[in-house]
């Protein structure tokens, strides 16, 4: 059941029980394991718009964190059997392992159209009761994603070096973990960085003690305006080191500089979002997962930073990239690592190297 009373009845997959979260839809045709383990889906129930899910199984490689982060899974046709040379198990066993309550056999196209029209909203999956008034009461009593700090549920507990065995590296980067995806860390590693990952609550002076060549602000879940401690930290880091941010990191840097964010009607979740690079004129097909965006009108208040929009989403003209020339920083809203999705935007990791070189010169 959705927050507005819309009801869908189907077949239970995974564990029995109840789960509540914000219901969103993802348009990727593949990558359900990466999607489920993406920390940015904390407190969200994911509806896959592609009808057949589970047919290639799961493995220990295609994960973006150490567990399933989504609150639930909704699909049209669910496969508990699979066929793929990389598979190590079934999706059914995988979601049961992490106690995920799921739903199959419903009209996911109808659900997706409803969310597109009415907006993302809270919902509940239940095997416990069919009493509609009881379900609606449970939804109403559950907190909204807005103004909630979800980062505290997904950040690491203590600092660690992601690639300790890496001998030949160009630069040292501190990655502030707001819910970082493994795919992003892999891309930073491939670019040649030694990566020190620190918890989201790490103080600015502790970050600077590592004497990094650059600072990376990671992706993560929820409302950026609720992460006050992160904004305070970023304010203290601005101008002291080159900064690169992705997704939530993109939004947090904008807020730290004085811009504002707002909640999108149904968010961007999928691997087929067209983004225009305003510097080259090229169109990139991107992977995305966010429910909030930077308010373009508010950028006029931070013009002193040399702020300029570098990328635009062609579906709704929302901001997908910002560069702050005067403070050696740039950010993107989409996910350049893909995972799942295309690799059209992976060049932005190389841009981080260029930013550090220019800063040092």
Among all residues, which ones are annotated catalytic?
Answer: 247, 335, 337
CA distance 46 to 25: 6
Question: How distant, in Å, are the alpha carbons of 223, 225, 245 from that of 148?
Answer: 7, 9, 21
| Cβ neighbours for 6, distance < 8 A, ≥ 6 positions apart | 114
Q: Is the bond preceding residue 343 a cis peptide, omega within 30 degrees?
A: no
The answer to whether the beta carbons of residues 315 and 360 sit under 8 Å apart is no
Please check whether residue 40 is in contact with residue 247, taking contact to mean a CB–CB distance below 8 angstroms: yes
DSSP of 17-64:
SEEEEEEEEE--SS-HHHHHT-GGGBTEEEEESSSEESTT-B-SSS-S
What is the C-alpha separation between 296 and 319, in angstroms, rounded? Answer: 7
Query: CB of 57 within 8 A of CB of 81?
Result: no
Task: Find residue 12's DSSP bridge partners.
Answer: 103
């Amino acid at each position: 059941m959705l927050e507005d009373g819309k009801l869908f009845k189907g077949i239970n997959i995974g564990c029995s029980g109840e789960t509540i979260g914000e219901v969103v839809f993802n348009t990727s045709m593949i990558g359900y394991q990466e999607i489920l383990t993406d920390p940015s889906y904390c407190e969200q129930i994911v509806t896959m718009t592609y009808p057949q899910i589970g047919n290639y199984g799961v493995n220990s490689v295609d994960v973006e964190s150490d567990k399933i982060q989504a609150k639930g899974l909704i699909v049209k046709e669910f496969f508990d059997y699979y066929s793929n040379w990389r598979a190590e198990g079934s999706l059914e066993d995988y979601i049961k392992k992490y106690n995920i309550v799921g739903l199959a056999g419903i009209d996911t196209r109808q659900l997706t159209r409803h969310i597109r029209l009415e907006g993302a909203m809270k919902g509940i999956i239940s095997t416990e009761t069919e009493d509609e008034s009881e379900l609606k009461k449970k939804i109403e009593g559950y907190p909204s994603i807005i103004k909630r700090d979800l980062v505290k549920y997904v950040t690491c507990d203590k600092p660690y070096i992601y690639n300790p065995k890496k001998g030949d590296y160009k630069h040292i980067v501190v990655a502030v973990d707001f819910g970082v995806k493994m795919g992003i860390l892999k891309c930073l590693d491939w670019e040649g960085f030694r990566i020190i990952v620190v918890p989201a609550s790490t103080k600015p002076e502790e970050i600077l003690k590592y004497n990094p060549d650059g600072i990376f602000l990671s992706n993560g879940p929820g409302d950026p305006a609720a992460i006050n401690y992160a904004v305070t930290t970023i304010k203290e880091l601005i101008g002291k080191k080159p900064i690169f941010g992705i997704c939530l990191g993109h939004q947090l840097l904008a807020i730290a500089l004085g811009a504002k964010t707002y909640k999108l009607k149904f968010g961007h979740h999928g691997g087929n979002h067209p983004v225009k690079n305003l510097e080259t004129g090229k169109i990139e097909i991107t992977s995305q997962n966010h429910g909030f965006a930077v308010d373009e009108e508010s950028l006029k208040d931070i013009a002193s930073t040399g702020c300029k929009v570098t990328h635009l989403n062609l579906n709704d003209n929302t901001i997908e990239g910002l560069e702050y020339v005067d403070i050696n920083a740039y950010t993107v809203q989409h996910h350049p690592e893909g995972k799942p999705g295309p690799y059209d935007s992976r060049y932005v990791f190389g841009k981080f190297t260029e930013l550090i070189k220019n800063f040092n010169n």
